[in-house]
Structure 1
């Protein structure tokens, strides 16, 4: 009963802030897709490409502005997440939010290709300190039985951001203002991140052993939960040996391959979904609203699948099935060129499958790496590898290949089925390793503390989630 009360207390304090932070992070990361088709409906003001990119007839400049975020995001993820262990989590995450909020807001002042690129690069730097940091932070407070659903709530706000992005863009498109409407979009979606970052400093709890948010009895329970089936660090420490172990772990690279496939789809969908829907023959205003339903359904599918995954304590098979669903969506887009209803249904498959798999794979690695330092290295490692897929995805839909975008859709389709295969291989590997340890060392008590200080996830009594 005490543990349930503590869990509710943690949920009420941590989840709203973390989810809202991700909502604004994702809005700021993906609003280029809406800005690209956004014009003033009453006065015909120019869109982003006409106003700041000189028309960009091939779409190449837009692609580079979109992908600039991912270059800095990839480069800074591993060092930023390791470095985050040396600071209070609330301060680190708050500064990241304020930083990307400022960068996003400054996009509104962009006047040419270089200025937009600079803002996107700095946005990537600041978000690199946030994205991989949240799974590590959650692992301080939530057990492996609870992690999947909490990560679903958190990552589900990426889907919520997709839905809200369309609604906000629809409203901004109808605003009567003395400057281009796409500039207002960046202001409206950038300023809230700055405000929320300031709130985070005062609201988000620090590590269980140091936060005044918990009383002594709650802290005792929280530390016991933190050491259930593994063991947490005490204070701000980095185990250098575990950094090397992470770089030598083939499973992290396999996870990176899955994440690469998923992020290629995620980046291309978030940046180009309005463009794809525009090829269905919808008006620009209707396109903004038509982006909402796929993301709304995605949020429901993500939470439902993650709940089942937690109950069954399996990640690999749900990831494989969800990724295959996204592949089927792309297949429909390839083979059904003229049926608008079927093609629109395919976008539901793509978003639901892709977002669900990403939420699950983050939860998978948040508890399968053993020690905090290996998590702080391994999580951003596989995420950085995966974000290379985002760079690819952001270049797959040049205007010159409209309206079918056959090459882009075929690449995404193949990658989804490849990701599903990798997830099955990884799940089988974990099952075999658990079986070998059970045979060699016996079946451990799942509630007992496991000393991972030396061997991380290779400790004899550590067991993987399959």
Structure 2
């Protein structure tokens, strides 16, 4: 018979890994017996298939006092979440205020009227040129720095550059200013998804990221209200210049507060006691071990670059961002072309964003509870695609305005689900640090496309822009459905081969990231 003897632990990081050494007795004493049937519930160190290499969880299920854990999470919710929401609200205001400035007269003042709309489209795209090309190195390099410092510098930088747009007097000035806003935002948004995984588990992150991302739609609402107010100000300064100043400088102040208030990681939070810090670190080992701060596993970085799943995610995110950028840059113009003028168009752009924020905040906790991201994202993509279809085929202004609600709800729900779904399916911090910006860079290419789909020559029907955006959101829904089917298949395959893996067990992902035998994907 085959015999097996446990060897000493492989390393201090994996004290319960077991290495088996097999010895074969003489042939005449070998007695063949059938293998016992596999059971889906395994003890530590037990393999469902003795002939397969053994890989088990590095520890038993991570068990903590639930009440103490709830108190700890509430502390994170009270400090980290509001601060990041405020920063993102200001960031999205600074990103999307160009659409409001357009109908305040910016093209007439510095672009010689821009009769074709090409110059405005290029200025709007300048943000995304920087954001797309720089976020991958910015996120990987940012992992080497204290996260509160990195995020704070990013917010301070884009706020200052946004305010400096008020000094633009020609196309070149505005293009450079928008490029710099994109540069600093590339340091922020991808790092946020990574930063949240330091504090919240996969059962918690959806509601938090959804609440955080709702600030994008709230920024659209506040942006419309602020623009409505600024447009009624009588000043020697052009109203659009005043808008950039009012929305830019608050981000500078809040960015400095981030450096002072936000922690780098749970184990360095000065407002937690020692027991709370230990609890915060221990509970985050569920589903994968944490890496040492400010380190990068280059093997996982390359694994992210070659992972086909990132590119499918990116294609879905691409579709959502085509619609999102169109909504941010052109919703006031679209509403104006529907029959509402000037300040009234600014005001009517508010309700679609408010409804989108409410739906997102309601959807994400249910997604957490069900641990399901793909199906809600599929439904959202189909809803938004249908909204753009209505804009193409309908003449009734009320139906068209209703379609903007469908589109805004779809866009923000799809993106909120995508950014909460993607990070934990990477398996390790280094793979997330590379995968998140790569996924977002692919997706933000859609923002460049969306920014160039609505030339003035197509007004007021914009058949081309609405038609392409419709197809892109349908693609988003299909991509989410495809990934859901794959993850269900892969989880079932691993359960069949390696046995049932408890989602609350600490899985050693330091070598294989999400390819570890006991790692299971969120569907």
What TM bracket, shorter-length normalisation? over 0.9
* 1:202 Cα offset (Å): 1.2
Give 2:86's aligned residue: 20
Match of 2:170 in 1: 112
Q: State the aligned residue count.
A: 457
Q: 1-side partners of 2:277 and 2:314: how far apart?
A: 35
CA distance in 1, matches of 2:510, 2:475: 35
Structure 2 residue 381 is matched with structure 1 residue 315? no
| Aligned-partner SS, 2:461 | coil
**Within 2, Cα distance between the matches of 1:313 and 1:295?**
26
Q: Distance in 2 between matches of 1:362 and 1:179?
A: 39
- SS of the residue aligned with 2:189? coil
Q: Distance in 2 between matches of 1:443 and 1:143?
A: 20
- Specify which of 220, 223, 226 is matched with residue 284 of structure 2: 226
What is the match of residue 179 of structure 2? 121
CA–CA distance in 2 between the matches of 1:408 and 1:345? 18
- Tell me the residue number matched to 2:8: none
Q: For residues 82 and 149 of structure 2, what CA distance do their matches in structure 1 show?
A: 17
SS of the equivalent of 1:127 reads helix
Give deviations 1:279-321, integer Å, cap 9, x for gaps: 1111211000001000000001111111111111011111110
Structure 2 CA distance for aligned equivalents of residues 19 and 53 of structure 1? 34
Aligned: 1:444 with 2:492: no
Give the deviation of 1:209 after TM superposition: 2.2
The equivalent of 1:44 in structure 2 is: none
Q: How far apart are 1:334 and its partner, in Å?
A: 0.9
Structure 1 unaligned residues grouped into runs of 5+ = 39-46
Alignment partners' CA distance in 1, 2:522 and 2:271 = 30
Alpha-carbon distance in structure 1 between the residues aligned to 2:190 and 2:251: 18
Map of 2:386 onto structure 1: 328
What is the match of residue 460 of structure 2?
A: 403
Q: TM-score, normalised by structure 2?
A: 0.87
Structure 1 match to 2:398: 341
Give the equivalent residue in structure 1 for 2:197: 139
Q: What's the counterpart of residue 333 of structure 2?
A: 275
Secondary structure at the aligned position of 1:132 is classed as helix
Asked whether the equivalents of residues 256 and 386 of structure 1 are also in contact (C-alpha less than 8 Å), the reply is yes
Deviations 1:179-207 (A, max 9, x none): 21000000000011001001111111111
User: Pairwise mapping of residues 226-265 of structure 1 onto structure 2 (< 5 A)?
Assistant: 226-265=284-323
1:271 deviates by 0.2
Between 1:186-195 and 1:211-220, the stretch displaced more is: 211-220
What whole-Å deviation, never above 9, does each CA across 1:224-272 have from its counterpart, x for those lacking one? 1211111111221000000110011111000000010000000011000
* Residue pair 1:141, 1:225 contacting (<8 A) in 2 also: no
Give the Cα separation in 2 of the matches to 1:465 and 1:171.
44
Gaps of 5+ in 2: 1-66
**Pair member with larger Rg:** 2
Deviations 1:353-408 (A, max 9, x none): 01100011000012110000000010111100000000000001111110000011
CA contact (8 A) 1:102 1:191 kept: yes
Instruction: Write the deviation string for residues 150-184 of structure 1: whole angstroms up to 9, x where unpaired.
Output: 01111100000000000000000001111210000
Corresponding position of 1:414: 471
Aligned to 1:296, which of 350, 354, 358?
Answer: 354
Cα distance in 1, alignment partners of residues 241 and 261 from structure 2? 31
TM-fit CA distance, 1:213:
2.7
CA distance in 2, matches of 1:268, 1:305: 23
3-state SS of the aligned residue for 2:211?
helix
SS across alignment from 1:450: coil
Give the alignment's TM-score, normalised by structure 1: 0.97
- What SS class does the counterpart of residue 266 from structure 2 fall into? coil
Counterpart Cα distance in 2 of 1:304 and 1:326: 18
